[in-house]
Amino acid sequence: MARCVTRVELSVSCRSLLDRDVGSASDPLCALLQDVGGGQWAELDRTERIKNCQNPEFSKKLVVDYYFEKVQKLKFGVYDIDNKSLDLNDDDYLGGIECTLGQVVSSSVFTRPLELKQGKPAGKGTITISAEEIKDTRVVYLEIEAQNLDKKDFLGKSDPFLEFYKQSDTGTWQLVYRSEVVIKNNLNPCWRKFSVPVQTFCGGDFNKPIKVQCADYDNDGSHDLIGTFETNLTQLQKAGDGSQVEFECIHPEKKQKKKSYKNSGIIRIKSCKTETEYSFLDYVMGGCQINFTVGVDFTASNGDPKSPDSLHYISPDGINEYLIAIWSVGSVVQDYDTDKLFPAFGFGAQVPPSWQVSHEFALNFNPSNPYCQGIQGIVDSYRQILPQIRLYGPTNFSPIINHVARFAAHSAQQRTASQYFILLIITDGEITDLDQTRQAIVNASKLPMSIIIVGVGEADFTAMEFLDGDNGVLKSLTGEPAARDIVQFVPFRQFKNAPREALSQMVLAEVPKQLVSYYKWQGWPPVKLPELKMV
């Protein structure tokens, strides 16, 4: 399963802490705990202790692994430390907060009042947390050609390829890149432009020795060395904007044997550029809002909502598969949307007062303002609307996809990475307008949006899997391919007996990659650029 895992560094400061020490101020320390389920909390990290300070700014950062597709519940606890024991149970509690990591990373600065317990404030104490991703996000792009390479093959010319090695701290050489293009029978090859993360290429040290080997490819793996040279990224970077950097390709044995030996060819660096590759967190922390829209299938194939075998039947404990899907996906996404107002629509039902079939009616029956307040608002609207509509048909996806696409297209006109749209469609799977839906998805693939389809019930979901595009690029009826893969389909039945968070992890795992791929394709950086933070 794809995972957006990265390390996040949390900076913590507090103001107006309670004073628990007689004759001096408290000696605070902040501990970070994570919810591990079943009401249990595990400590992840803690700051240093600062003596006699009611407004501490901790220098020790708290480090946590981050997953977009999980709700990661955190607890920050501030303690007054008056002994040398590591156990916090014997120290005075100065207050704490509970929040999610998603809330922290989607706020540039996250400030909350400290509480001694729920609803009981810890005096005027507050805690402020800011997040930063730990990584070198730069990538080096290289364009390389060669001239007059030695002929190595008896019957033909050489088939040259390149290998790059960085020198480790122990002096050994570690392979960091091998050119995938073996250029057949060519002593003057020009290799395809390629990229390597700076962290991989030289560990972020632009003066770290790099060894480049040029060899003649043989199918049996017994590649013949043509020649080698050493350089570093600082030297390589001199290439570009019309100026090239040349290196003599030297074969050590030939150099020893022949006094007249000059070289085994020239390797020419045409261009070497270092660029920043932004991550999902860079965009979210840089101000990108994720807009969440829900589309619910109200077609007759779901069954009469009053009947216990209907997919829309709400059980005595107040749930059904539609509601579980809304809760599990929405609870993750809502942390990335500041106004917490989510448009929610139904399709495939006859709607009062005219009883016309509608394929995009507002769940709150307010077409001019279809926004629900939070995920609970969507759930409430769904429960209220069920007895008031008639399940009908057909099952058309394209109207609601096109609806969200109009908003995404409007946002894209700003040419900034400020808004991304996620459409969750929950359906029993009997799609009617497959051709129109294919076209709608191909059109949407050029916009800042992703589509998640959760299939409920026991239907045949072949059409949904086709839309997912995992078995090849989805094409419209006219043959136009999707610009990128934006659909993730998951059948609910696979998660019936799994923990509720398993569904959200599966359906949201692809979203970070889809968001980054869109903004990279457009060449749009985050609205607020991150400061470079090295490991």
Taking residue 370's Cβ as centre, other Cβ atoms within 10 Å add up to 20
| DSSP summary character for residue 84 | S
* Buried-exposed string 457-496: b where 16+ CB fall within 10 A, e elsewhere: bebebebbbbbbbeeeebebeeeeebbbbbbbbbbbeebe
Q: What is the band of 302 on the pLDDT scale with cuts at 50, 70, 90?
A: very high
Q: Report whether pLDDT(534) > 50.
A: no
pLDDT at residue 470, as a whole number: 63
Matching residue, tokens 């016309």: 356
Q: Report whether pLDDT(21) > 90.
A: no
pLDDT digit string (tens) for 410-433?
Answer: 999 999 999 999 999 999 987 899
Provide the β-strand partners of residue 62: 10
Q: Report whether pLDDT(533) > 60.
A: no
pLDDT at residue 338, as a whole number: 84
Q: Report whether pLDDT(530) > 80.
A: no
Q: Report whether pLDDT(156) > 90.
A: no
Q: Report whether pLDDT(1) > 50.
A: no
Q: What is the 3-state secondary structure (H, E, C) of 412-475?
A: HCCCCECEEEEEEEEECCCCCCHHHHHHHHHHHCCCCEEEEEEECCCCCCHHHHHHHCCCCCCE
Give the rounded percent of residues in the chain with a pLDDT score beyond 90. 62
Lowest model confidence (mean pLDDT) among 112-121, 192-201, 351-360: 192-201
Least Cα distance to 278 among 3, 11, 513, 2 occurs for 513
pLDDT at residue 109, as a whole number: 86
pLDDT at residue 155, as a whole number: 56
Q: Which domains does the chain have, with CATH numbers?
A: 6-134 (2.60.40.150), 138-276 (2.60.40.150), 282-522 (3.40.50.410)
Averaged pLDDT for residues 440-465 = 92
Higher pLDDT, 378 or 149: 378
Integer Cα distance of 524 and 521 in angstroms: 8
Q: What is the band of 4 on the pLDDT scale with cuts at 50, 70, 90?
A: low
Who's near 518: CB < 8 A, 6+ residues apart?
A: 420, 447, 448, 484
Averaged pLDDT for residues 450-456 = 94
pLDDT at residue 401, as a whole number: 98
pLDDT at residue 153, as a whole number: 61
Tokens of 128: 């402020």
pLDDT digit string (tens) for 180-219?
Answer: 656 777 788 899 999 988 878 888 889 999 999 999 887 7
Q: Report whether pLDDT(405) > 60.
A: yes
Q: Which amino acid is at 407?
A: F
Lowest model confidence (mean pLDDT) among 21-25, 232-236, 252-256, 415-419: 21-25
Higher pLDDT, 471 or 164: 164
Q: Average pLDDT, whole number, for the chain?
A: 90
- Give residue 199's region: left, alpha or beta (phi > 0; psi -120 to 50): alpha
Higher pLDDT, 188 or 531: 188
Matching residue, tokens 């507090």: 14
Tokens of 204: 């972020």
Cα-atom radius of gyration of the chain, to the nearest Å? 29
Q: How distant, in Å, are the alpha carbons of 348, 365, 387, 431 from that of 396?
A: 7, 19, 22, 6
Tokens of 148: 């007059």
pLDDT at residue 2, as a whole number: 40
* Helix 434-444 / helix 398-412 crossing angle, nearest 10 deg: 10
Integer Cα distance of 157 and 186 in angstroms: 6
CA atoms within 13 Å, Cβ hemisphere of 250: 16
pLDDT at residue 487, as a whole number: 93
